[in-house]
């Protein structure tokens, strides 16, 4: 069942207002989410209703694969990487408490938050990289979705942890509304709550300094992956992320150790 309803916009605004009132969402973070009407885009990712999830605690795993035209040569590798993360989580003992969300860099939602067994795997039929790179705009939408969904659960007394991966093979080129500082405000809010991890994967394009790109977006060095262009390097980076996602699913203590250690743990 979807969270979207006729009153979805008001409900979403209340989630953000509550997060602001509780100190989870800063004034800058709230401003980033209300500069433009992101309601419909965020609602498209919310997916399963809180009352339909039986777990005593929940982990939200969120992946944003790049579907810009420049990554067209890596279709199979990116699909394999996404599915590798899914398979690793499916093999974990805590899989029943994990919800997975896949939103492409240009905004198309493949998987709104849903249980692992219902997740649609990526393949060449549903992944067509032929668009632009609105990295900042869509990072704001994605992180707004993470924040809204986690707020839904915490507001219902369900402990929630999140781990999010933004993937790109180039710097922002096509954002119309958001700047790097808007993304940074949200990333810093999430990090301050101490139950969220936001990571970035920059696939080498020959020129972009991805560490600088992601640092400008508020992502810490220890959560930045910069694989080369070979399939082996890209798959290895997905493997590293999948290991962190599994550790996040293993409980609060494991989350704390993982958050402190970054991809090195």
pLDDT at 84: 98
Q: What are the CA-CA distances from residue 27 to residues 61, 104, 264 (Å)?
A: 26, 27, 32
pLDDT of residue 154: 94
Residue 2, in any domain of the structure: no
26-46: average pLDDT: 83
Contact yes or no for 183/32 (Cβ under 8 A): yes
Q: What is the pLDDT of residues 173-226, one digit of tens each?
A: 999 989 999 999 999 999 999 999 999 999 999 999 999 999 999 999 999 999
Global confidence as pTM: 0.93
pLDDT of residue 36: 62
**Number of folded domains that form the chain:** 1
Query: Is 226 within a domain?
Result: yes
Kindly give the pairing relationship between strand 109-115 and strand 160-168.
Answer: unpaired
Mean pLDDT of the chain: 93
Max intra-chain CA distance, the chain: 47
pLDDT band (50, 70, 90) for residue 91: very high
Mean pLDDT of 25-39: 80
Domain that holds residue 260: 8-264
Mean pLDDT over residues 122-128, rounded? 97
Of all residues in the chain, the percent with pLDDT exceeding 90 is: 81
Structural domain includes residue 3: no
DSSP string of 94-125, one letter each residue: TGGGEEEEEE-TTS-EEEEEEEGGGPPPP-TT
Mean pLDDT of 22-39: 81
Q: For residue 48, what is the domain's CATH number? A: 3.40.50.410
- Is 1 contained in some domain? no
pLDDT at 2 over 50: no
């Amino acid at each position: 069942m979807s969270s979207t309803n006729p009153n979805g916009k008001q409900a979403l605004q209340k989630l953000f207002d509550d997060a602001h009132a509780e100190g989870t969402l800063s004034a800058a973070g709230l401003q980033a989410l209300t500069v433009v009407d992101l309601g419909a885009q965020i609602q498209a990712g919310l997916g399963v209703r809180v009352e339909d999830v039986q777990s005593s605690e929940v982990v939200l795993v969120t992946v944003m694969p790049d579907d810009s035209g420049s990554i067209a040569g890596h279709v199979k590798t990116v699909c394999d990487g996404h599915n590798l993360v899914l398979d690793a989580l499916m093999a974990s003992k805590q899989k029943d408490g994990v919800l997975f969300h896949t939103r492409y860099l240009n905004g198309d939602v493949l998987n709104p938050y849903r249980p692992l067994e219902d997740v649609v795997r990526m393949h060449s039929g549903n992944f067509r990289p032929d668009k632009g790179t609105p990295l900042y705009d869509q990072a704001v939408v994605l992180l707004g979705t993470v924040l809204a969904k986690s707020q839904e659960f915490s507001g219902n007394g369900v402990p929630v942890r999140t781990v999010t991966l933004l993937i790109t093979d180039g710097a922002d080129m096509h954002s119309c509304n958001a700047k790097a500082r808007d993304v940074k405000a949200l990333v810093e809010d999430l990090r301050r709550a101490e139950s969220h991890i936001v990571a970035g994967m920059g696939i080498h394009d020959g020129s972009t300094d991805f560490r600088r790109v992601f640092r400008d977006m508020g992502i810490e060095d220890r959560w930045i992956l910069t694989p080369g262009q070979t399939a082996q390097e890209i798959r290895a980076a997905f493997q590293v992320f999948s290991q962190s996602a599994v550790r996040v699913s293993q409980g609060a203590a494991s989350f704390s150790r993982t958050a402190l250690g970054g991809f090195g743990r």
